[in-house]
Amino acid sequence: MRVLVPFTARDPKTRLAPVLDADERRRFAFAMLRDVVSAIRAAGHDPELLVPGPLDPPADDLGGDPSGSVDGADADPLDDSDADPLDDLPRTIDERPLTPAVNAALSRLGDGGVGELAVVMADLALATPAALARLSGAGGDVAIAPGRGGGTNALVVRDPDFRVDYHGTSYRDHRRIAADAGLSVDAVDSMRLSTDVDEPDDLVEVLLHGDGRSAAWLREAGFVIDTGGESRVAVRRSDG
Amino acid sequence: MRVLVPFTARDPKTRLAPVLDADERRRFAFAMLRDVVSAIRAAGHDPELLVPGPLDPPADDLGGDPSGSVDGADADPLDDSDADPLDDLPRTIDERPLTPAVNAALSRLGDGGVGELAVVMADLALATPAALARLSGAGGDVAIAPGRGGGTNALVVRDPDFRVDYHGTSYRDHRRIAADAGLSVDAVDSMRLSTDVDEPDDLVEVLLHGDGRSAAWLREAGFVIDTGGESRVAVRRSDG
């Protein structure tokens, strides 16, 4: 299945500004994008970027073996796990905002045998092949993995009559749009897919449950889990 | 499977104090408990309360048909859906804090053919029979549904060598305790089970995804979803 991943590198993740500067936010956003693209491929699907213009990705300096050595001395020349997942990735360039850009992409449905298309957000740093398999295996004319706070973090569309509207409480709106068009909706109950990483508190989830580039990047940047005195666990950046 | 539901009615849900007074928090906590117990029964399991003393539940005035009429004029006398789920519920009374009380209950494992025990928190207002079936169907000597922020919202224990420690980042601690005892752990990836309702922001999830007593109680209390001007959706209490 083709999986669109909308992404913009223009001042991404502004709500992380209390803990990351602009350059760091950009690097972390690309680390999450690489994790998402890798998980989509590992689930057996075909990722495709949906971007407003050319990308200029920072070096994938945590790629390959993010939890271990990066010197590559033992690298198997036939093992391409060190390859940047963004290399050779198909991309559609659309300068419009998210909703019209995705709807334009959805207009491919029904043409040339395209029976379904998925849209997966680029900040789902906890996405795993298993979670994405549950998304693609869900039934319905539309399958939605809701995000915390009522967003639509991932969806599969199987009917050309469906259109997205990402503004506001999009999960509720997408259910209504589907109902108005007589389409069935299946919800995907996944903590991993519900976790879009927008705010400092979300970084705790990446440190707890992530095992890819995003978690490695945060650890390299000095983030640790802070259990001291908080009613809910927080992150803390080490001084060292 | 026997499912323990720890609950205390002593000043519950203090972090909801910004939006609910003490009596309201108590009523809402009982609405959530009733939802959790109903979902456990509907999943085919046997709920059992773990409480520090006698309960004095408020009337289940939203029971039966929380979304519709409550006058009961059309009630089928053979339909017991109006019954309070807390009626005739087995309960263990243990005055100790959560961790020692649960560990005492877990000591039943291995005795008299008790092969597994589950512990499900009483504030999982979004728990459904399907989500609980994924919990009971998970493998491992221990199966854990993590909560947001690293808590342990639900778990199944199948080995008497496992002990809980709910203090701090218990999800990480429970994985370590299991590993130290040579036990396998399976994680349950469920947004519904990851959502323990502690803070005002959590009420959004209940209004969006709940269809039981908790959501009905919030609507009766005047809570609506507020999409205006927030980076993340919030709740607002109507003036009427």
Q: What is the pLDDT of residues A67-103, one digit of tens each?
A: 444 444 444 545 456 789 999 899 999 999 999 999 9
CB distance A232–B199 less than 8 Å?
Answer: yes
Question: How far does the CA of residue B75 sit from the closest CA of chain A (Å)?
Answer: 30
CB distance B189–A131 less than 8 Å?
Answer: yes
Task: Identify all chain A residues contacting B192, using CB atoms and an 8 Å cutoff.
Answer: 189
* Window from A121-125, A231-235, B192-196, B201-205 with minimum mean pLDDT: A231-235
CB B82 within 8 A of CB B75: yes
Closest CA to B153 of B104, B119, B178, B181: B119
Task: Check pLDDT > 70 for residue A230.
Answer: no
Q: What phi and psi values does residue A115 have, to the nearest 5 degrees?
A: -95, -25
Closest CA to A123 of A175, A19, A196, A40: A196
| Radius of gyration for the alpha carbons in chain B, expressed in angstroms and rounded | 18
Q: Taking the alpha carbons of B174, B144, B34, A170 in that order, is the dihedral positive or negative?
A: positive
Mean pLDDT of A118-146: 98
Residue A201's identity, in one-letter code, is D
Task: Identify all chain B residues contacting A138, using CB atoms and an 8 Å cutoff.
Answer: none
Q: Does A94 touch chain B (CB under 8 A)?
A: no
Place of tokens 């990066």: A70
Mean pLDDT of A123-145: 98
Question: How far does the CA of residue A7 sit from the closest CA of chain B (Å)?
Answer: 18
Q: Does B236 touch chain A (CB under 8 A)?
A: no
Place of tokens 């059309």: B74
Chain B nearest-CA residue for A201: B149
pLDDT of residue B229: 57
pLDDT of residue B71: 46
For B233, which of A149, A190, A199 is closest by C-beta distance?
A149
Q: Does B211 touch chain A (CB under 8 A)?
A: no
Question: How far does the CA of residue A209 sit from the closest CA of chain B (Å)?
Answer: 9
Q: Does A70 touch chain B (CB under 8 A)?
A: no
pLDDT of residue A234: 75
Task: Check pLDDT > 70 for residue A233.
Answer: no
Closest CA to A136 of A154, A151, A122, A153: A154
pLDDT of residue A236: 80
CB distance B208–A130 less than 8 Å?
Answer: no
Question: How far does the CA of residue B134 sit from the closest CA of chain A (Å)?
Answer: 10
Write out pLDDT tens, residues A17-72. Answer: 999 999 999 999 999 999 999 999 999 999 999 999 998 899 886 654 444 444 44
Q: Does B192 touch chain A (CB under 8 A)?
A: yes
Mean pLDDT of A191-208: 96
Q: Does B86 touch chain A (CB under 8 A)?
A: no
Q: Does A131 touch chain B (CB under 8 A)?
A: yes
Q: Does A83 touch chain B (CB under 8 A)?
A: no
pLDDT of residue A238: 72
Q: Collapsing DSSP states into helix, strand and coil, what is residue B29?
A: helix
Q: Show the low-confidence residues of chain B (pLDDT under 70).
A: 61-81, 229-233, 239-240
Identify the bridge partners of residue B154 per DSSP, sorted by sequence position: B120, B145
User: Six-digit token pair at A95?
Assistant: 């300068």
Q: Which residues contact B76 (CB under 8 A, 6 or more apart)?
A: none
Length in residues, chain B: 240
Q: Collapsing DSSP states into helix, strand and coil, what is residue B157?
A: strand
pLDDT of residue A144: 98
For B208, which of A171, A201, A205 is closest by C-beta distance?
A171
Task: Report yes or no on whether pTM surpasses 0.95.
Answer: no
Q: Rounded to an integer, what distance in angstroms lies between the CA atom of residue B128 and that of residue A104?
A: 36
| Number of CB pairs, chain A paired with chain B, less than 8 A apart | 80
Q: Does B172 touch chain A (CB under 8 A)?
A: yes
Identify the bridge partners of residue B117 per DSSP, sorted by sequence position: B2, B157
pLDDT of residue A25: 96
Q: What is the DSSP string of A177-224?
A: HHHHTT--EEE---HHHH----STTHHHHHHHH--SHHHHHHHHTTEE
pLDDT of residue A72: 43
Q: Which one-letter DSSP state was computed for residue B195?
A: -
Task: Identify all chain B residues contacting A143, using CB atoms and an 8 Å cutoff.
Answer: none
CB A233 within 8 A of CB B150: yes
For B191, which of A15, A128, A194 is closest by C-beta distance?
A194
